[in-house]
Amino acid sequence: MNFENNLAFARHQDAADILKDFRSEFLFPKHKENDFIYLCGNSLGLQPKAVKQVLNNQLDNWSNYAVEGWFDGDEPWMFYHKELKKLMAPIVGASPIEVCPMNTLTVNLHLLMVSFYQPKGKRFKIIMEGGAFPSDQYAIESQVRFHGFDPKEAIIEVFPRDGEEILRTEDIIAKIKENGSDIALVLFGGINYYTGQWYDMEAITKAGHEVGVMVGWDLAHAAGNVPLKLHDWDVDFACWCSYKYQNSGPGGISGIFVHEKHFNNTELNRFAGWWGYQENKRFKMEKGFIPEAGADGWQVSCTQVMPMAIYHASLQIFDKAGYIEPLRNKSISLTGYLEYIINQVNKEINIEQFKIITPKYPKARGAQLSIIALEKGKEIFDGLVAHGILGDWREPNVIRLSPIPLYNSFEDIYLTGQALLQVTKNILK
């Protein structure tokens, strides 16, 4: 697409957008009397308008049925998660039996590592990305300590080359091969939260399997953002939060994926709970844990009805939108336009004030650009907020902007560029 830095171009693109009507299904925070231009869906997605109704429906079920709500009404709570499973599966490229909504992200990461991180002999190390989100770092540190290892010896981090911001796939694969006989697990984030780099998940998973280890993914920034094929890529396990690109509300429910090839693997440890027990015998309250078939067998606690209801509201929007393919097509165009607009700002001020560290190629990024501000970054970020542009600030000098295809427009991007130019000129004059 040949982009243009003018309002007429942006509005023309919006008029032709097949997803434009979905914007009206979300609530935008207010800036003075107008809506914020919201470019922070990579941190917390907007609230779907349907949320209040779905929550009220469940409150009515609670009021009308009380404990009998587990089995009575239009959506009995006992089986409510099954409707979500059908809607979740296409988002991550899985079958419904391979996914389950439950708990929160880091809780699920720990539960899955109980099963898939089983160090034996000299195979006790974990390979992960350097600069992973702190939750992943802390979870992995505590897991290796739990098994009696020193994180300094047990964790291998892969960092970009000197002078570079992003990881090269060949360096990740080389590190896996180099340490193949010592590794027990490869565990990466699908998209790095800081740089916005989307790793080559298929190639990395294959490399891990070639040295005989399990491969798992934290998809906090990938699920609902980029096309995933967890089953076809032969991923062993994954988990994700749903409150970023999937708009399930602050602290929203998490999801897990377990490849069906592991369902009958009795050598996998797990921390069991009542709700993971075989469903048709669960209420017999018998000793001896027998897991429910599929990913549901990793459940521990009972269905979190209210968080699931919010997630359900958002998943229904994904279903109506046609899932990831149309969203991805718009995302590539929106993010490309944002890249163009930022480069136009640099030209206007005649210096490279803003350096994009997110990969240029669409296959290596999702709906996010991470931008280094060379001077006075926090002042410029605050200036954008004052102009009604809400992105995300990361120390020491990175502004993250995420155009979300369900609710952002080309006009949003154009106006962001105009505000960025004005703010930058005023601050750097």
Measured in degrees and rounded to the nearest 5, phi and psi for residue 245 equal -75, -10
How large is the average pLDDT for residues 94-123? 97
pLDDT at 396 over 90: yes
Select from 247, 251, 258 the least CA-distant residue to 223: 247
Domain boundary, last residue among 275, 298, 321: 321
Could you tell me if 297 and 412 lie in one domain?
Answer: no
The dihedral sign for the CA sequence 110, 115, 117, 122: positive
Could you tell me if 335 and 317 lie in one domain?
Answer: no
How large is the average pLDDT for residues 108-123? 97
Could you tell me if 216 and 361 lie in one domain?
Answer: no
The model's pLDDT over 299-336, given as tens digits with 9 standing for 90+, comes to 999 999 999 999 999 999 999 999 999 999 999 999 99
CA–CA distance, 337 with 362 (Å, rounded to integer): 12
Regarding beta strands 183-189 and 214-218, do their DSSP bridges make them parallel or antiparallel, or are they unpaired?
parallel
Residues 6+ apart with CB under 8 A from 265: none
pLDDT above 90 coverage of the chain, percent: 96
Measured in degrees and rounded to the nearest 5, phi and psi for residue 277 equal -70, 155
Domain boundary, last residue among 273, 291, 321: 321
pLDDT confidence of residue 1: 81
Could you tell me if 153 and 252 lie in one domain?
Answer: yes
Could you tell me if 257 and 331 lie in one domain?
Answer: no
Selected residue with higher pLDDT from 357 and 73: 357
Q: Is the distance from CB of 83 to CB of 303 less than 8 angstroms?
A: no
Could you tell me if 282 and 422 lie in one domain?
Answer: no
Any domain includes 43: no
The structural domain count of the chain equals 2
How far does the chain reach from its first CA to its final CA, in angstroms? 34
The model's pLDDT over 41-71, given as tens digits with 9 standing for 90+, comes to 999 999 999 999 999 999 999 999 999 999 9
Could you tell me if 295 and 273 lie in one domain?
Answer: yes
Q: Is the distance from CB of 376 to CB of 412 less than 8 angstroms?
A: no
Domain boundary, last residue among 279, 298, 321: 321
How large is the average pLDDT for residues 348-359? 95
pLDDT confidence of residue 233: 98
Domain of residue 137 covers 54-321
R_g of the chain computed on alpha carbons: 23
Polymer length of the chain: 429
pLDDT confidence of residue 346: 97
Residue 224 structure tokens = 């609902």
Which run of H or E residues covers position 142?
helix 134-146
CA–CA distance, 256 with 272 (Å, rounded to integer): 15
Could you tell me if 297 and 328 lie in one domain?
Answer: no
Could you tell me if 309 and 422 lie in one domain?
Answer: no
pLDDT band at 429 (very low <50, low <70, confident <90, very high): confident
Any domain includes 313: yes
Q: Whole-number mean pLDDT of the chain? A: 96
Any domain includes 337: yes
Could you tell me if 238 and 126 lie in one domain?
Answer: yes
Any domain includes 12: yes
CA–CA distance, 66 with 140 (Å, rounded to integer): 40
The CATH number covering residue 68 comes to 3.40.640.10
Could you tell me if 286 and 337 lie in one domain?
Answer: no
Q: What pTM was computed for the model?
A: 0.96
The model's pLDDT over 154-178, given as tens digits with 9 standing for 90+, comes to 999 999 999 999 999 999 999 999 9
Could you tell me if 105 and 189 lie in one domain?
Answer: yes
Any domain includes 2: no
Any domain includes 41: no
